[in-house]
Amino acid sequence: MSTETFPLSAAAKVHLNNSPVQLIESSIRRGEARFASTGALMAVTGEHTGRSVKDKFTVRDELTEGKVWWDNNFSMSRAHFEVLLEDFKAHAKNLELYVQDLHVGADPEYRYNTRIMCEYAWHAVFIRHLLRRPSMQQLIGYKPDVTIVSLPSFRADPKRHGCRSGTVIAIDFKRNLVLIGGTSYAGEIKKSAFTFMNWAMPARDVLPMHCSANYGKGGDSALFFGLSGTGKTTLSADPKRTLIGDDEHGWSSKGVFNFEGGCYAKCVNLREESEPLIWAATNRFGAILENVVLKGDAADPDYDDQSLTENTRSAYPAEWIPDTDVSGIAGQPKNLVMLTADAFGVMPPIAKLNPSQAMYHFLSGYTAKVAGTEKGMTSAVESTFSTCFGHPFLPLHPSVYGNMLKNLIAKHNVDCWLVNTGWTSGGYGVGSRMPIKATRALLDAALSGQLKNMPMRTDPYFGFQVPTEVPGVDTKLLNPRDGWSDQAAFDTTSRRLVADFHKNFESFVPHVDTDVRNAGPLLKNAAE
């Protein structure tokens, strides 16, 4: 791939591969960010405090026409992208750019040289933390395979550029080039790299996954899938296990490897006692905080203050978590965990899935969100489905990733688990949040192999296997119906959730085998 997809000469001045300290100094000098009392660097991202999903476009051409999942991806014409590219270059002529030459992919066989060109110095240190940092030797003769350009001060013109607003994230898979304009949210850069891997990896027989991963003392690796707020980062940062990576991985014929070299943790309501490893990594010099409110003249981080956004984040290198395997590479997984925060309070705290059920729940990507503030009202809870636990980042149809997952599970005899970190003894507003101590105990039992030998029952609504007893765990938690004071309400709520699953899965039915279609919740039982 040519380095000229977006040449360094396009900028008025280039700062190439500055160190984190240099970048932090530049961001302070330029007024882009400020220090917290902890030494972390805090930046406010303004209008966009999360990804702008509706402003993300893929160039539609002869390469992508028959491959991209267009139901999920907005298209941009080749002509509009060419105009946008020239306007980006013209805009860069008046800017200093902070450029980092990095890697995506820990396994050298599947590694991509990824050049990140940033208008903001704090964006450059953010992405340096999150991607993989080449050695000095690896930088000799470095040529990018992928280039991502982030210019927050650029405002797109919908008529001229074929986009929706002044914000644009445009991906050209022919050039392996991403242009990001009109947003200061740093997560767009990280997720653009992930979107590229979701495009490139399946063709190389590697499953790209939006998951965290770790391994135990015996080298047994485990994968953790889950949407925001389900505990993916928290549960994978386990003091008893070694972290492989926080958020994005590939699964090849050789095993699991991290795409990244850092962590991007949610830090709303962060507490040292409940998340000591994330707390320590977040509260030190060089960590990057996004939209965390700093209190008073002392500039102490207030992790409970959500006045800027609920989506407050911290970014730091993976090695800041003790016992992280900096190689980012591990063997074949023995366990796969799908996390959900079920606010309806009807899912058990853990369930065992067969391969067909695992594919069904992977394609479903279920969690629940609280849509209102009225306590005890089921109308305040909404089902949320994000296929493959990351639908915004999928250029290809979900069945591509789902079938790869099913085959890998079967080939490597992986035990699959569905874990509910949401509510128990009632839904949101009535019940209580699942005790994290119980979740960790159940996960320990699952990952050690102990749980699969425990007595199981078949859940009448969801069809999966649920343990009836686990040492140290309250049996009422294991059968959520027992914890409800109104068991008729439990049945009604379960039926509603089953119906939501079936409605969501309708679009996948033509793309999956009969065994997967039959692996979902039991609609017949739910109708009784």
Average pLDDT of adjacent 10-residue blocks, the chain of 528 residues: 77 97 98 97 96 96 97 97 98 97 98 98 98 96 97 98 98 98 97 98 97 92 92 86 94 97 93 91 97 96 96 95 93 97 96 96 92 46 93 95 95 96 93 92 94 93 95 90 94 95 95 93 60
Same structural domain, 383 and 289: no
Could you tell me if residue 475 is inside a domain?
A: yes
Token readout for 131 is: 């991607």
Q: How confident is the model at residue 228, as a pLDDT? A: 81
The confidence score (pLDDT) of residue 528 equals 44
Nearest-CA neighbor of 57 among 185, 181, 190?
Answer: 181
23 and 169 together in one domain:
yes
Count the neighbouring beta carbons within 10 Å of the beta carbon of residue 135: 8
The predicted pLDDT at position 371 comes to 55
Give the residues across from 98 on adjacent strands: 15, 118
Q: Is residue 296 part of a domain?
A: yes
Instruction: Answer yes or no: do 302 and 376 share one domain.
Output: no
State which H helix or E strand residue 368 sits in. strand 366-370
Residue 196 lies in a domain: yes
Domain end: 179, 204, 229, which one?
204
Same domain for 18 and 149 = yes
451-456, long-range: CB within 8 Å, 24+ apart, which pairs?
451/350, 451/352, 451/417, 452/352, 452/415, 456/352
Q: pLDDT value at position 229?
A: 81
In the numeric block, the tokens 């499953």 are attached to: 207
Same domain for 316 and 337, yes or no, is no
Give me the active site residues, please: 51, 191, 210, 228, 232-233, 247, 313
Q: 355 and 292 in one domain?
A: no
Exposure b/e, 372-408, CB count within 10 A at least 16 = b: eeeeeebebbebbbbbbbbbebbbbbbbbbbbbbbeb
In a domain? residue 44: no
How far, in Å, CA of 122 to CA of 33, rounded? 7
Domain-ending residue, one of 161, 189, 204: 204
Supply the CATH number for residue 377's domain. Answer: 3.90.228.20
pLDDT at 274: 84
Helix (H) or strand (E) holding 398: helix 398-412
Q: How far apart are CA 122 and CA 289, in angstroms?
A: 10
Interatomic CA distance for residues 298 and 469, integer angstroms = 50
C-alpha pair distances (Å), 4 with each of 115, 175, 480, 493: 11, 10, 58, 57
Report if residue 242 sits inside a domain.
no
Could you tell me if 305 and 408 lie in one domain?
no
Note whether 312 and 290 are same-domain residues.
yes
Find the helix or strand (DSSP H, E) in which 28 lies: helix 20-29
- Asked if 507 contacts 354 with a C-beta cutoff of 8 angstroms, the reply is no
* Same domain flag for 159 and 282: no
390 in the same domain as 517: yes
Q: Residue 302's domain spans which residues?
A: 263-320
Write down which residue in 177, 204, 231 finishes a domain. Answer: 204
Q: Is 252 a domain residue? A: no
> Rounded to whole angstroms, what are the CA distances from 85 to 4, 145, 166?
12, 18, 15
Coil, strand or helix at 341: coil
Number of domains the chain is built from: 3
State the Cα–Cα distance between residues 251 and 411, nearest whole angstrom: 12
> What sign does the CA torsion over 414, 419, 403, 395 have?
negative
C-alpha 375 chain-centroid distance: 29
Q: What is the pLDDT of residue 237?
A: 81
Q: CA separation (Å) from 298 to 279, 295, 434?
A: 19, 7, 35
Q: Is residue 278 part of a domain?
A: yes
CATH number of the domain enclosing 194: 3.40.449.10
Q: Are residue 353 and residue 474 in the same domain, yes or no?
A: yes
DSSP states of 29-79:
HTTS-EE-TTS-EEE--TT-SS--GGGEEEEESTTTTTTS-TTTSEEEEHH
Note whether residue 238 is domain-resident: no
Give the span between the Cα atoms of 156 and 153, in whole angstroms: 10
Residues 366 and 499 in one domain: yes
The CATH number for 314's domain is 2.170.8.10
Q: Which long-range contacts (CB under 8 A, 24 or more apart) does 455-458 make?
A: 456/352
Q: Of 133, 42, 136, give the one whose Cα is nearest residue 319.
A: 133
**Cα angle vertex 424, ends 241, 494, to 5°?**
115
Question: Distance between CA atoms of 244 and 330, rounded to whole angstroms?
Answer: 7
